[in-house]
Structure 1
C-alpha cells in the first residue's frame, strides 16, 4: 500500500549558483560518497531528498546526509536505508522506498513513493 508520494524539481542553474556561493553545501547536504558527483547528479539527489520529506510528511531526527542515495550495478538509484532514516521508516511502518530521478532542459526532478507491505 502506498503511504506517501513526493515530487520535487530543482533548477540546475540556481543550484549551481548556490553551491558555488556556499561550497560547504556539499558537506551539509550530501554524504561523502556523493560529494564528488557532477552538479546535475547532486541536484537530482537534492530533489530526491526533498521528495522524500514530502512523501513522509516529516523526517524528524534525520539529517540531509542521512538520506544517502546509492546506485546499483546498473545505475538504478535507491535510498541507503541505514541509521536514522532506517529507524524512522521502521517506526512509521514503511517497508520500501522507490525513487526516480532525471535531469533535462535545466531542471532536475525526483519522485519518491513510500510503501507499506500488508
Structure 2
C-alpha cells in the first residue's frame, strides 16, 4: 500500500547561487559524501529530500543529514534513513522508500514513493 508520494523540482543555477551566497547551507543540507557531487547532482538530491519530506507529511524537526541519498553498486539511488526521518517513517509504517532522480536542461527533479511494510 502507498503511504505517501512527494515530488520536487529545483532550478540548478538558482540552487548553485544559493549555495554560493550561503556557504553553510551545503553543510547543513548534505552529508560529507553527498557534498562531493557535482552541482546538478546536489540539486537532484535536495529535490529528493524535499520530496521525501512531502511524502512524510512535512514533519517538524526533520534533520537533512537524517535522509542521505546513497548509490547502490548499480548506480541506483536509494535513501539511507536515520534519526528524525527514520522515526517518522517508522511511525507511518513505511517499509520501502522508492526514489527517482533526474536532471536535464538546468532542472533537477525527484519523486519519492513510500510503501508500507
With the shorter chain as reference, the TM-score category is over 0.9
Q: Distance in 2 between matches of 1:82 and 1:61?
A: 13
Q: Deviations over 1:3-24 (max 9, x none)?
A: 1111000001100111111111
1:99-110 map, 5 Å: 99-110=99-110
1-structure distance, mates of 2:63, 2:39? 20
Q: Secondary structure at the match of 2:81?
A: coil
2:19 is aligned to 19
Runs of 5+ unmatched residues, structure 2: none
Task: Say yes or no: does 1:10 pair with 2:10.
Answer: yes
Structure 1 consecutive aligned stretches of length 4 or more whose deviation exceeds 6 Å: none
Give the C-alpha shift of residue 65 in structure 1.
1.5
The structure with the largest strand share of the pair is 2
Find the counterpart in structure 2 of residue 94 from structure 1: 94
User: What's the RMSD between the two structures over aligned residues?
Assistant: 1.1
